[in-house]
Every structure is written in C-alpha cells, then in structure tokens.
C-alpha cells in the first residue's frame, strides 16, 4: 500500500460507520483494503465469515471449496440459495459476495485445499480462515500456516456450541491444542449430531471479527474462544506455544506437508482402546458405571456458579476453560466420564482430551439435567 493512497468518496461513505471506530480510521480501512484473505470452506462458517469480511472492505478474498450447493446446506450456509442449488459453492459464493461488495476481488479455488496445493495456496494470502468440516483439512490448513508463518483463524460448530481459534505465528498453533488428529469416526459430524443454523452465524461472524482484529494488529497472543449459544455464554482460553508441539515446538516433526499425515483415519490411539470406550454414554449407563465396584472418574466441566446450584456428589469440578491447564489432575489410563449441564460443553472437552491421548474418556449425554430427570430427582434442575 503506497503512502499516498486514499479512500474514494464512495468508500468513505460505504465504510463510514466502521471508519469512525477507535483504532480504524482511514488508515485501518486502507489496511483492510490491501488485505488478502483465504477462506477455506464456503459452508456454515465460511458463509457468514466471508459475507462480513466482504462487507468490511477486505480487498481480496480467496474461496476454496470443492463441493456443490445442496438442499440440506441452505438452513445455515447463507451464501447460497435455491437458485444456486447444484452449482459449485465457489461460484455461488462469488455471486453473493459481489452483491455485497462489487469492488471486492474474488479468487476461486474449486479444487479446495489439498496436500498438493496447500503450500502454494497459503503462500498467496496473508491470513487463512478455516471453516472446513473435517479433521484432515483442518490439520492440513493448520500445518500449512505454521510452515508458512501465516495466522490462522479456525472455527468449528456442533449442535448449539462452537469454538473460534486465533493461532498466530510462534504464539501457539492448532496442534498445541490438538496434537493428534482423531479418527474420523471418533467425533460426530454436524450431519450426525445436528447443528443450529444460527450457531453457525454466531461463530462465523466471530471468526470474521477476529480476522479484522488480526489484520488491524489488535491480536498479539493465540487464544481459543468457547461459545455456547444455548447457554448464552462465551469463554476465552489464552494459549501459549507448546515446546513439545509436533508442528511448532522446539524439535518439530512436521517439516513438510506429507499426505500420510492427513489420512482420514489417522490416530495414534489404538482402535481397540477407542472402541471399548465410546465417545458418548447414556445417563443410565453413566449411573451404572458410577455405581460399580471400580467407578470411573467423573469430571464436571460447568462453571463454579452452576456447581454451587447443584452437583453430582462424586464429580470433580474442572471448569471447561481451565481443563487445558489442569490436565495433570486428569490421570491417563483410567476410565473418565465428562459431564456438564446438557452435554454440549462436555462433548467438547471429551474431544479435546481424546486429541491429547486420553483413550478412555467418554461424554455423558444429557448432562446433569438428564441425571436429575432419570437418576436422582433430588438434584436441583436449573
């Protein structure tokens, strides 16, 4: 961006409400105009993220998605409509984004992100937005960003919960949180577990706001936002680089993008161990296990205020946001059950622990609310 570049009168009017914000001004708007951002996935998260980045005046958006628009997409993928059913999502996205901002430059990558093109594709942009829905592409995007020294904004959703990760170069990466790629079948997809369309809107919009914050120099530390739309809560976990991280640690083992790293079934945990300990158990099964001669460790990941309202007597309280820093209190090699209010937060923690190598951890479906309804009615509901 040249020092004498200025916004035109049309741009000043278009972005006037944004320009007057503290820390933006014309200089900040010009910074956004010069930005090149790659959006991976034009689906539930990529749709709202791309729409708000286009509306904010980001100069160039790359859209990478190999899929076509399907009817089941439309309740949450707001870039698309009935008139674009069957079209490649990249083309449908380009049409919608051009309506929002005709001055936007759009680069289409209908091949999506692959091991073969990831390094070259990421190198073209200064920041990557990951709204993909499978582990192989998420880990590929994360590793490509580490190798290229590019910031990554990651998002994921399931049911009414989501997370937004801000991963800055040398400040902690995706693999610092999730070092091992889980088996594809170990975590339910949105197609299996369901998802609220509005949850995608909240998380995708949050991703866009983090992109803008990074571009404007407002982020100096990696962090993870944990969002529960149904509960109306959001928490932030500040991250630091893990010296043992396989991607960005002191002695990294991921030095190039190798196809074998991103096979859909990749998992360092033995299939036997995982199959013996399902991802989720019913509230009745949890009660049976807890009443056995050798009960599992039960961890309550709700907030202290919720725990004060009601609790299961044998549960250990470790609030969700504190789990990463209190891993030493959770032994490996023993069965562990995780519960929360309704089962959403605890599923996130279960996924996190499995990625950290806890093979015997399972989520309690329905949480303490189901416990009150089906096991112990003396436990207060809220």
Name which of 162, 140, 165, 136 is nearest 152 in CA terms: 165
Cβ atoms of 189 and 238 within 8 Å: the answer is: no
Gyration radius (Cα) of the chain, Å = 22
Check 145, 176, 190, 310 and give the catalytic one.
Answer: 190
Please identify which residue in the block is written with the tokens 């005709």.
102
Residue 189 has a pLDDT of 60
Name which of 290, 153, 161 is nearest 213 in CA terms: 153
Structure tokens at 90: 């990249």
Q: Give the separation between CA 64 and CA 337, rounded to whole angstroms.
A: 38
For β-strands 152-158 and 161-167, DSSP reports them as antiparallel
Residue 180 has a pLDDT of 80
Sign of CA dihedral 346, 339, 343, 134: positive
Contacts of 4 (CB under 8 A, 6+ apart): none
Q: Give the separation between CA 339 and CA 141, rounded to whole angstroms.
A: 31
Q: Where are the domains of the chain?
A: 35-262, 271-374
Residue 266 has a pLDDT of 34
Cβ atoms of 290 and 298 within 8 Å: the answer is: yes
Verdict on whether the full-model pTM lies above 0.85: no
Contacts of 216 (CB under 8 A, 6+ apart): 23, 24, 28, 31, 32
Cβ atoms of 245 and 195 within 8 Å: the answer is: no
Range 35-262 classified under CATH 3.40.50.720? yes
Please identify which residue in the block is written with the tokens 């920041």.
127
Residue 368 has a pLDDT of 97
Cβ atoms of 284 and 375 within 8 Å: the answer is: yes
Residue 68 has a pLDDT of 94
Tell me the residue ranges of DSSP E strands in the chain: 36-40, 60-64, 105-109, 127-130, 152-158, 161-167, 223-228, 233-238, 280-281, 297-300, 316-317, 336-339, 361-364
Q: Give the separation between CA 286 and CA 378, rounded to whole angstroms.
A: 17
Structure tokens at 42: 């034009």
Beta-bridge partner residues of 159:
195
The one-character DSSP state at 244 is T
From first to last of its 382 residues, what are the pLDDT tens digits of the chain?
A: 444 588 999 999 999 999 999 999 999 999 999 999 999 999 999 999 999 999 999 999 999 999 999 999 998 999 999 999 999 999 999 999 999 999 999 999 999 999 999 999 999 999 999 999 888 999 999 999 999 999 999 999 988 889 999 999 999 999 988 888 876 655 556 665 678 889 999 999 999 999 999 999 999 999 999 898 888 888 888 888 888 899 999 999 999 999 888 875 433 333 333 346 788 899 999 999 999 999 999 999 999 999 999 999 999 999 988 998 899 999 998 999 999 999 888 987 998 888 788 989 999 999 999 999 999 999 999 9
Respond yes or no: is residue 314 known to be catalytic. no
Structure tokens at 159: 């049911």
Half-sphere exposure of 36 (CA within 13 A, CB side): 10
Distances in Å between the Cα of 96 and the Cα atoms of 84, 99, 104, 373 are 10, 5, 11, 46
Residue 4 has a pLDDT of 56
Q: Give the separation between CA 343 and CA 366, rounded to whole angstroms.
A: 5
Q: Give the separation between CA 140 and CA 280, rounded to whole angstroms.
A: 27
Q: Give the separation between CA 107 and CA 63, rounded to whole angstroms.
A: 6
Q: Give the separation between CA 305 and CA 79, rounded to whole angstroms.
A: 39
Respond yes or no: is residue 190 known to be catalytic. yes
Query: What CATH topology corresponds to 271-374?
Result: Oxidized Rhodanese; domain 1 (3.40.250)
Residue 200 has a pLDDT of 94
Please identify which residue in the block is written with the tokens 């990463």.
324
Beta-bridge partner residues of 154:
130, 165
């Amino acid at each position: 961006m040249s020092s004498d570049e200025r916004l035109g009168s049309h741009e000043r009017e278009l972005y006037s409400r944004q320009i007057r914000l503290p820390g933006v001004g014309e200089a900040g708007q010009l910074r956004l105009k010069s930005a090149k951002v790659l959006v991976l996935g034009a689906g539930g998260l990529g749709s709202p993220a791309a729409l708000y980045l286009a509306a904010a005046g980001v100069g160039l958006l790359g859209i990478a998605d190999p899929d076509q628009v399907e009817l089941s997409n439309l309740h949450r993928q707001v870039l698309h409509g009935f008139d674009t059913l069957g079209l490649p999502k990249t083309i449908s996205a380009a049409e919608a984004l051009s309506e929002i901002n005709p001055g936007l430059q759009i680069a289409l990558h209908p091949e999506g992100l692959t091991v073969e093109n990831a390094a070259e594709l990421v190198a073209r942009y200064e920041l990557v937005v990951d709204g993909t829905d499978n582990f192989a592409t998420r880990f590929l995007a994360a590793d490509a960003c580490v190798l290229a020294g590019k910031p990554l904004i990651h998002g994921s959703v399931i049911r009414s919960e989501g997370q937004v990760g801000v991963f800055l170069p040398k400040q902690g990466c995706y693999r610092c949180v999730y070092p091992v790629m889980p088996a594809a079948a170990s975590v339910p997809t949105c197609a299996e577990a369901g998802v609220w369309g509005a949850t995608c809107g909240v998380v995708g919009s949050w991703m866009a706001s983090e992109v803008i914050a990074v571009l404007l120099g407002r982020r100096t530390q990696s962090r993870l936002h944990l969002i529960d739309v149904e509960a109306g809560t959001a928490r932030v976990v500040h991250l630091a680089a893990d010296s043992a991280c396989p991607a960005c640690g002191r002695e990294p083992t991921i030095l190039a993008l190798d196809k074998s790293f991103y096979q859909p079934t990749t998992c360092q945990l033995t299939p036997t161990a995982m199959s013996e300990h399902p991802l989720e158990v019913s509230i009745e099964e949890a009660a049976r296990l807890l009443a056995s001669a050798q009960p599992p460790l039960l961890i309550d990941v709700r907030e202290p205020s919720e725990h004060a309202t009601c609790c299961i007597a044998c549960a250990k309280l470790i609030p969700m946001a504190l789990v990463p820093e209190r891993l030493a209190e959770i032994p490996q090699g023993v069965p562990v059950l995780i519960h929360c209010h309704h089962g959403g937060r605890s599923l996130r923690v279960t996924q996190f622990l499995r990625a950290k190598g806890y093979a015997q951890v399972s989520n309690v479906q329905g949480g303490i609310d189901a416990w009150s309804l089906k096991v112990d009615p003396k436990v207060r509901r809220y």
